[in-house]
Structure 1
Amino acid sequence: MLMNRHAPAPVEAIPDEIRADVETLWRYHDMHHQLRPCDVGIGLGSHDLGVAVIATRLFHEGLFPWIVFTGANAPTTIERFPRGEAVHYSEYAIEQGVPAESILVEPRATNTAENLEHSRQLLGERRISVQSVLIMSRPYQQRRAYATCKLIWPEVDVVCASNPLDLDDYVRSIGDPRRVVNMLVGDTQRIEVYAERGFAIPQEMPDELQAAFGRLVAAGYTTRPI
């Protein structure tokens, strides 16, 4: 039988010896918010096009009349989104039928606080009244996005969402399980560190979560922690 030379190489899976700990972190970052209509949707820039995917879908479902895509570049995104995260997200959304006039592009933010601060400023400049926001992010950024928004934009009601993939499907979409685990570990550490530094409100961190985090650090997943 002839081999398909163009078939993609299989994506590695999460190693069995760390799977339970990775799943513990994965579940923690999902805020499990019930989706409801909001005044604006905000898509946080990252390496994950899934943010634009879910933003586009929820716009078409009528959950918000405006989308702000926010994000410049980072070392992890410059190759995939050379014109900037927000720009590429907006291009995807327009290709999928979102009217260009319903999209605001914020191309300067380089971290979550700036994503939200600059988005708030942009919406104010456009005189768009905002009492509720639906923040869309990578799955493991939900809790940090929520905690950051509640500190710097406390008057708005916050709902968090991500492209609804389970852990294995998400790893396949990214194509690199080690990268996903490193990012999960890094975002878990940031929940505590950013609250201590005054960048976000504190979040409960159960003992089970801290133990899983410690074991993953000990296993060498240390490229993303501060």
Structure 2
Amino acid sequence: MTTDIQRSITDDQRQRAKLIWDYHQMGHELGPADAAIGLGSHDLGVPAFCAELHRAGLFPALVFSGGPNPTHPGRFPRGEAVHFREHALALGVPDEAVLLEPNARNTGQNITFSRDVLAEAGIEVKTLLLVSMPYMERRAFATTRKVWPEAEVICASAPLEFDDYLKTIGDEKLVVDQLVGDLQRVIEYPKLGFAIEQDVPEDVHAAYQSLLEDGFDSRLLNT
């Protein structure tokens, strides 16, 4: 049985993880977009922030994308997009503003399938707002620039500090595992043709390697 102590992290690990957390966030200035995509995940903070941005008038149309969550299959049994849509509607987003893409199984599919849904709805997209979990911004950006290069991409996530996000999730080790796993994908996906290359600063890469050595590896790619 896993104990609370085993799921917590040390102050030193927290500092190294914070470097990676900061790197994953793109720091884009929010502005009007032709449409938004809420990327599927285990985090209801995504549809909640989508609802907030829609109320602010940043976009007229919103696609929620994602099938069943592979790492948390019991959390959204009818699929991420379906549950995200319901959550956004409950927060006041009008039904006609929300499109559904329930089949994607990875980020590349999130983008390409959502692009098709928007095209079928007759929505021309020049500027796209991507809403994701905070540590997924950079990977989402790099993927979209690869598979939808003609779109101008703005990345957004709920404005949470790292320590606040740790408290929100309630499992410090899991969060760091996810930070490390996403950084591995930022590094490896360009070699596989899934994303554009991103420069990784030396201190961020060193933090990544040391956290791997500390055993934060449950979200790595299967190789």
Q: 1:172 Cα shift?
A: 1.3
Question: Could you give the per-residue CA deviations for residues 90-114 of structure 1, whole angstroms, max 9, x where no partner exists?
Answer: 0011111111110001000010000
Q: Where do 5+ consecutive residues of structure 1 fail to align?
A: 1-8
Q: 1:201 Cα shift?
A: 0.3
Aligned position for 1:79: 74
Percent of aligned pairs with the same residue? 48
When the two structures are superposed, what TM-score results if normalisation uses the length of structure 1?
A: 0.93
**Residue 152 (1) aligns with residue 159 (2):** no
**Residue 111 (1) aligns with residue 106 (2):** yes
**Residue 165 (1) aligns with residue 160 (2):** yes
CA distance in 1, matches of 2:8, 2:216: 15
**Residue 55 (1) aligns with residue 53 (2):** no
Q: Is the 8 A contact 2:49 2:157 kept in 1?
A: yes
SS of structure 1 residue aligned to 2:26? coil
When the two structures are superposed, what TM-score results if normalisation uses the length of structure 2?
A: 0.94
Extract structure 1 runs of 4+ deviating beyond 3 A. Answer: none
Q: 1:127 Cα shift?
A: 1.0
CA distance in 2, matches of 1:144, 1:211: 19
Q: Is the 8 A contact 1:13 1:171 kept in 2?
A: no
Aligned position for 1:187: 182
Q: 1:174 Cα shift?
A: 1.1
Count of residues paired in the alignment: 217
CA distance in 1, matches of 2:154, 2:72: 25
Aligned position for 2:34: 39
SS of structure 1 residue aligned to 2:153? strand
CA distance in 2, matches of 1:207, 1:97: 44
Q: Is the 8 A contact 1:77 1:85 kept in 2?
A: no
Question: Which of the pair has more CA radius of gyration?
Answer: 1
Root-mean-square deviation (CA), in Å? 1.4
Distance 1:83 1:192, change over 3 A: same
SS of structure 2 residue aligned to 1:74? coil
Aligned position for 2:85: 90
Q: 1:78 Cα shift?
A: 1.7
CA distance in 2, matches of 1:13, 1:54: 27
Q: 1:118 Cα shift?
A: 0.2
